[in-house]
Structure 1
Amino acid sequence: MLLKKQTVWLLTMLSLVVVLSVYYITSPEQKSNELAGVEEEVKDEQKQAATETEDQDVDSIISEAAGDEEFEALRLKLEDQRSELKEELSTVVATTDLPADERSEAMDQMKKLNQTAQKEQMLESLIRASGYEDALVRADGEQVMITVKSDKEHSKAAANEIIKMVKKEIGNTNYVAVEFQPAK
């Protein structure tokens, strides 16, 4: 009998915690005050992120990548930047105070980020399948920067093949840069 009382007590407490959590999350007073502050923070962070990305010279970052660790570190950094941007966009989508147009635009940007990441991974896989040791693909709007690690001879024909792969996968790109790095 004692075990049943403890079980009933535990289930009662757990259900109380769940009910209070749902109430806190859906509370309209709390939500509107928090979201107003979050919205301002998101706008400030977006402005800071835009200025930071403009300040960074992407070519110098990629040219510094020499080993596998650097490639992975750059991939992780790019993934972190995208996840932060996705988080900011998801808070914009969750904001009920904003018009539907802005929330829809934020959702479209999130989808575009996901598609870009998938295309980058696909291109990296295709380049590796072509016989290169490793590749790092960074797509930023209509610009695509590719760093390829290879023991093979670096020629214009090899770069053109990679550019053709990019055009086939991504489509409309104004600028594609291919850089070869010797494998260690």
Structure 2
Amino acid sequence: MVLKKQTVWLLTMLSLIIVLSVYYVQSPGPVPGEQVAFDELQEDSDMDLEEMAEGDANEVVVNIAEELDEAEAEETDSGVISSISTNEAFATIRMELQASRDRMAEEYTQIVASQDASAEMKSQAHDKSIELQRLSQKEHQLETLIIAKGFEDALVMAEEDQVRVIIQTEELSREQANEILSMTYDHLGSNNTVTVAHQASK
């Protein structure tokens, strides 16, 4: 399935941009009405993205600042210091996500125009193309609303039932995280598994 492959690709791409996957362990108990886990980064943890997915909480709040800090300090094989700023990371992820969405839209367009595709396949491809456009619009609207709350920047990525929200801010309080979760549910649906992360500016 194209969407499932896209989900795997997006997670892989995000992990490369951030350099290290976002590590977390379950901490405080559920907040009434919402299960929000404020998780601590583990320096020596070897968890990968597959292990992350085994968590029970539907919403997770993490801090990815240390991951980008480590990226700045690491040397590449050629001996050149690797440095990724928050703005660069956000911009790169947005471009990669848009490029991927464009490829998917093109595939749907080809199916609709294909003489070999059945009427049902064409109808499904048309519906998915419209759904993809609406999803991108909702992501952008949510990012705009989050930024309007006083944050420097926000990145929203939705794939299937997974939603990742990364906020560019020095700190993110429990109240702010809950508000972002509520906004995400309002715009993208309450059946999603939401991950909220925050990253300090660089």
Report TM bin, short chain.
0.5 to 0.7
Equivalent position of 1:161 in the other structure: 179
SS in 2 for 1:57: helix
State the 1:162 CA deviation.
0.3
Give the fraction of aligned pairs with identical amino acids, expressed as a percent. 35
- Say whether 1:72 aligns with 2:91: yes
State the 1:58 CA deviation.
6.1
CA radius of gyration, larger in: 1
Aligned mates of 2:6, 2:153 — CA distance in 1: 28
- Say whether 1:60 aligns with 2:20: no
Q: Whose RCO is larger (CA < 8 A, sep 6+)?
A: 2
Aligned mates of 2:194, 2:180 — CA distance in 1: 9
More helix by share: 1
Which one-letter code corresponds to 1:87 in the other structure?
Answer: E
SS in 2 for 1:97: coil
Segments of 5+ residues of structure 1 without an aligned counterpart are 1-45
**8 Å contact from structure 1 (residues 143, 173) kept in 2:** no
- Say whether 1:121 aligns with 2:140: yes
Equivalent position of 1:24 in the other structure: none
Equivalent position of 2:196 in the other structure: 178
Equivalent position of 2:115 in the other structure: 96
Which one-letter code corresponds to 1:182 in the other structure?
Answer: A
SS in 2 for 1:114: helix
- Deviation per residue, 1:11-45 (Å, 9 max, x gap): xxxxxxxxxxxxxxxxxxxxxxxxxxxxxxxxxxx
Equivalent position of 1:135 in the other structure: 154
SS in 2 for 1:180: strand
Aligned mates of 1:52, 1:118 — CA distance in 2: 18
RMSD: 2.2
Segments of 5+ residues of structure 2 without an aligned counterpart are 20-67, 69-84
Aligned mates of 1:181, 1:84 — CA distance in 2: 29
**8 Å contact from structure 1 (residues 144, 173) kept in 2:** no
Which one-letter code corresponds to 1:105 in the other structure?
Answer: Q
State the 1:158 CA deviation.
1.1
SS in 1 for 2:116: coil
TM-score, normalization: structure 1?
A: 0.67
**8 Å contact from structure 2 (residues 185, 192) kept in 1:** no
Aligned mates of 2:178, 2:131 — CA distance in 1: 26
Candidates 147, 168, 176, aligned match of 2:166? 147
Which one-letter code corresponds to 1:154 in the other structure?
Answer: L
**8 Å contact from structure 1 (residues 142, 175) kept in 2:** yes
**8 Å contact from structure 1 (residues 137, 145) kept in 2:** yes
Equivalent position of 1:9 in the other structure: none
State the 1:53 CA deviation.
4.3
